[in-house]
Amino acid sequence: MPAFTDHINTALRRVPTWAVYIVFLLPVPYFLYLAQTGALGAEPIKALEHRLGEVALQLLIAGLCVTPLRGYFGINLMKFRRAFGVLAFTYVALHLLVWVVLDMSLLWSQMWADVWKRPYITIGMVGFVALLPLAITSNNYSVRKLGAGAWRKLHKVTYLAVLLGGVHYLWLVKGIQLEPILYMAAILALLGLRVAKRSKRVAQTG
């Protein structure tokens, strides 16, 4: 097994970060193409909004996978973690943009009411706001300015944001549906690993 993971890690080291950005941004023009050609169905706005939201959630979950992948399987994706985070934020922002401009037709008063009255929208918006400081500080200058410890602490807000994203999805669907439950299960499992590790560490040092 070690030889196998070494191969993977060597290959991963050769992948430049910018390539990850490009590959993971490709779905955006692809979704727009699908929407324009009718491939997203009779109501392309909702479809586009949902696709973007789903990719955002997937990228947030991918970010949560980095540490356990290294810890349990020896696969090192640490180099790409910040890219996953920045990409996830980009998709959340696009998801929000589609909602504001295309879905809600810039009906500000209706949107304002929705943010306060509809819990799933409130939760989604809180998740977006929680990601804002993380997106703003996703650069080496901020790491230096804040100091590595404080920066890392701040970026633990990701845990909250991904949880809110999962609840947002779970809450917005009608009735009991499978997909949001699977996403939520993955999120809880990945957060659970961290809680377990932390309590183990506390037990050892305490």
Residues lying near another protein in the complex (CB under 8 A) are found at 35-36, 38, 41-48, 102-105, 107, 110, 113-114, 117-120, 172-178
Nearer to another protein, 50 or 70 (CB): 50
What is the Cα–Cα distance from 54 to 111, expressed in whole angstroms? 21
**82-94: burial string, b at 16+ Cβ within 10 Å, e else:** bbbbbbbbbbbbb
Measured from the CB of residue 123, what is the shortest distance to another protein in angstroms?
Answer: 13
Measured from the CB of residue 97, what is the shortest distance to another protein in angstroms?
Answer: 13
Nearer to another protein, 14 or 117 (CB): 117
Nearer to another protein, 170 or 190 (CB): 170
Measured from the CB of residue 52, what is the shortest distance to another protein in angstroms?
Answer: 13
Measured from the CB of residue 59, what is the shortest distance to another protein in angstroms?
Answer: 22
Nearer to another protein, 107 or 196 (CB): 107
157 three-class SS: helix
What are 153-158's contacts with CB under 8 Å, separation 24+?
A: 155/85, 157/130, 157/131, 157/133, 158/60, 158/63, 158/64, 158/85, 158/131, 158/134
Measured from the CB of residue 183, what is the shortest distance to another protein in angstroms?
Answer: 15
What is the Cα–Cα distance from 46 to 53, expressed in whole angstroms? 10
Nearer to another protein, 71 or 119 (CB): 119
From first CA to last CA, the distance across the chain in angstroms is 34
Amino acid sitting at position 61: I
